[in-house]
Each structure stands twice: as structure tokens, then as C-alpha cells.
Amino acid sequence: TQLLEQSPQFLSIQEGENLTVYCNSSSVFSSLQWYRQEPGEGPVLLVTVVTGGEVKKLKRLTFQFGDARKDSSLHITAAQPGDTGLYLCAGAPTDNQGGKLIFGQGTELSVKP
């Protein structure tokens, strides 16, 4: 069974601080995605990374896919209260029958003004 471990599970910081969320596995994934979920809503796709070592930036968010395609990180610079939410990583298995994604358990981020 393929698993994705996210850390930390909870993170409470002050506005303006930087933070990094990690997503690790012993399995290789063909691609990895990051989602953000707000209370009462479904997750919303932030980014997809496909190539080992790939780095993508989305404003203050930087996403990296590990060289071996087993891990990923999300770095937020100068966090704002609007960044508060549940961040989920999700990997597409290399033998992806049916198009399923494996999700991590999520990182709950709270950014205080």
C-alpha cells in the first residue's frame, strides 16, 4: 500500500513568517499535486509537479518535487491570514489504474494576524 506522510500535521504561525510543509513516501509517483481546502469546501488544486527536481512557484508559494519523485515540499513566504487552510499533497501511482490519487493526511495551517 502506497502512503504519503505529511508533516507537520498542525502549524500555527504569525503573519509574515515563512513555513515549509513536507510530503514523504517510500514509493515513486508519476506526479504529485498540492491542494488547499477551506472549511466546508472541497480541496482546490494548487499545482501539479511531474518531473523529478521540478520547482514551481505560485506567488508566495514554492513547490518542489524530489529528484527521486518520492517526496515534495511546499514553502510559503511571508504567510498571510488568507493562507489559512488544510494543505493536502496527493500522488499519482506509477501503475495508475483508474486514475486514482493517494492523499496525505493533510497539514492544518493557521496564520494569525
Binding site for another protein (CB under 8 A): 4, 30-31, 33, 35, 40-45, 48, 88, 90, 92, 96-106
Name the minimum Å distance from CB 39 to another protein. Answer: 10
- Shorter beta-carbon distance to another protein: residue 75 or 103: 103
Upstream peptide bond of 8 is cis (omega within 30 degrees of 0): yes
Name the minimum Å distance from CB 59 to another protein. Answer: 18
Name the minimum Å distance from CB 72 to another protein. Answer: 14
- Shorter beta-carbon distance to another protein: residue 75 or 93: 93
Q: Whose CA is closest to 47, among 87, 83, 85?
A: 87
Tell me the C-alpha distance between 11 and 21, whole Å: 9
- Please provide the size of the chain in residues: 113
- Shorter beta-carbon distance to another protein: residue 31 or 64: 31
- The C-alpha torsion from 48 through 66 and 108 to 4, rounded to 10°, is 90
